[in-house]
Chains A and B, each alone.
Chain A
């Protein structure tokens, strides 16, 4: 899983497989951090959030 584990070889299979895997993990981690960070900032700024218009996106419910 990591280059320092002894099964690891710098060959095509490892680069493709682990490359794809770490790429996906990075995207997910970045995405989650972005969302949490942004929400945190918005909360600090005191934006209650219930005022803005967030209708019309996805199955977000129609409870506004």
Chain B
């Protein structure tokens, strides 16, 4: 028994990247087992939704978009680190980012595959999902989302595959070795295509709410066909995505108890994210003011209409529209920390900043999905409450478990962090 286990350990260790230390196999299996169980719970809920239909959720005719759509928008926003880091590294030429791009791509891959999965659960007739492509209405923001999202997921696969092929054993196969190498050579083209597609799907996700002229809470002025939320979403994804990449890197470092990326790399990315966040928060504040004091009065509404009434979840706490304030603070505070050199260099401040930066996008997406649905429009309509069912929660936790598993596998078997060997000599 013992001998068989030792043999297994020896064989398995041959799959590890060269010159790095990995956790003992039993520990790794336990870790996978825990998250695998969570994953199975989510998969069970997923099949329930597929076979029994969306009556398994607590959504209703007032909340046609709910937790899932928020989760979708949120993972796509924080997954924006992949396209933006790729753009900076390959197109703009910020060379040091090559030490974090692999991880950014991996996180993006997880986020986008999760988003596609959630979308597949979220539609009432999953088998007709392809209608969105086949019968495309090019004027719908959701069509734009579907096309760009799927194509960009293709780009992420292309960016992730070379990393897989660099596994020690796979790399020994000449064809795989060449393929990985050749992919890297033309990666700039894919990165540019990815940035192009991301610009449009991040934006059109913002457009999804922004074009709803029947919903004054969401509706925004349009440039050509795109409402301001189109640009704000792209911008915030480019700002908050890298924050999330840094956050996950820091969490990975804490869990593996190793330094995986050098500080100068992280600081460079943090600095760029900081400036993006700062400009974003200015744009967001301007947009909110214009919406509140120009757009709404045109529709006979006042900004306070949306921050009074009904439920504490969306409204005022002591007379303050708290969710709006938190959203804005979550972009201003991290921005100020990250643009200052001192802030970036202090580890606790950096972690707080990237945490708030990631939350910034998540709260914004929450507001643009659930609060949009919650706000009654007809003056005599009621405010409906919604709380997700366990099936919805399980399927939303599913991507998290899946992400942890994929990161763990990738970290164990693939050279995700090029600086790991140098930073942690065995």
A–B in direct contact per CB < 8 Å: yes
Total number of B residues with any Cβ neighbor in A under 8 Å: 53
Q: A28-B154, A28-B193 are in contact. Are A61 and B166 (CB under 8 A)?
A: yes
A33 to B: closest C-beta gap in Å:
11
B178 touching A42, Cβ below 8 Å = yes
Cα separation A21 to B145 with both chains bound (whole Å):
11
Q: Is B98 within 8 A of A59, CB to CB?
A: yes
The SS class assigned to the A binding surface is helix
**Is A63 in contact with B179, judged by CB distance below 8 angstroms?**
no
Say whether B383 faces chain A, with CB atoms less than 8 Å apart: no
Over the window 45-64 of chain A, the binary record of Cβ atoms lying under 8 Å from chain B Cβ atoms (1 yes, 0 no) is: 00111100010011111110
What residues of A have a CB within 8 angstroms of the CB of B138 in the complex?
13-14, 17-18
At the interface, yes or no: B257 with Cβ under 8 Å from chain A? Answer: no
Instruction: Name B's interface SS.
Output: helix
Number of residues from A at the complex interface, CB < 8 A: 35
A56 closest partner in B (C-beta): B98
Asked whether A24 lies within 8 Å of B197 as measured between CB atoms, the reply is yes
**CB closest residue in chain B, given A58:** B98
What total count of A-B pairs have CB within 8 Å?
108
Nearest CB in chain A: distance from B407 CB, A: 15
Q: Contact at A43–B174, with CB atoms within 8 Å?
A: yes
Given the known inter-chain contacts A5-B135, A35-B186, please indicate yes or no for A59 contacting B418, CB distance below 8 A: yes
In the bound complex, CA of A64 to CA of B101 (Å):
19
The answer to whether B187 touches A58 (Cβ under 8 A) is: yes
Quote the shortest CB–CB distance from B100 to chain A (angstroms): 8
> Most chain-B CB neighbours within 10 Å: which of A49, A58, A62?
A58
Contact, CB under 8 Å: B189 / A31: yes
Q: Which residues of B contact A57 (CB under 8 A)?
A: 98, 184-185
In the complex, are the beta carbons of B137 and A7 less than 8 A apart? yes
Docked pose: A11 CA to B162 CA in angstroms: 40
User: Are A1's CB and B101's CB within 8 A?
Assistant: no
The contact sample of 6 A-B pairs, CB cut-off 8 A, is A27-B189, A28-B154, A31-B186, A31-B190, A47-B174, A59-B102
* Besides A28-B158, A50-B177, 18 new A-B residue pairs in contact (Cβ under 8 A), listed by A number: A1-B133, A7-B136, A20-B196, A21-B148, A24-B197, A27-B189, A32-B158, A38-B182, A39-B178, A39-B182, A54-B181, A57-B98, A57-B185, A58-B90, A58-B184, A59-B100, A62-B422, A63-B19
B contact set with A: CB distance below 8 Å: 17-19, 89-90, 98-102, 133-139, 143-144, 147-148, 151, 154-155, 158, 162-163, 166, 168, 171, 174-175, 177-187, 189-190, 193, 196-197, 200, 415, 418, 421-422
Q: Enumerate the 7 nearest inter-chain pairs by beta-carbon distance, A residue then B residue, closest first.
A: A61-B415, A39-B178, A59-B102, A17-B138, A39-B179, A49-B177, A35-B182
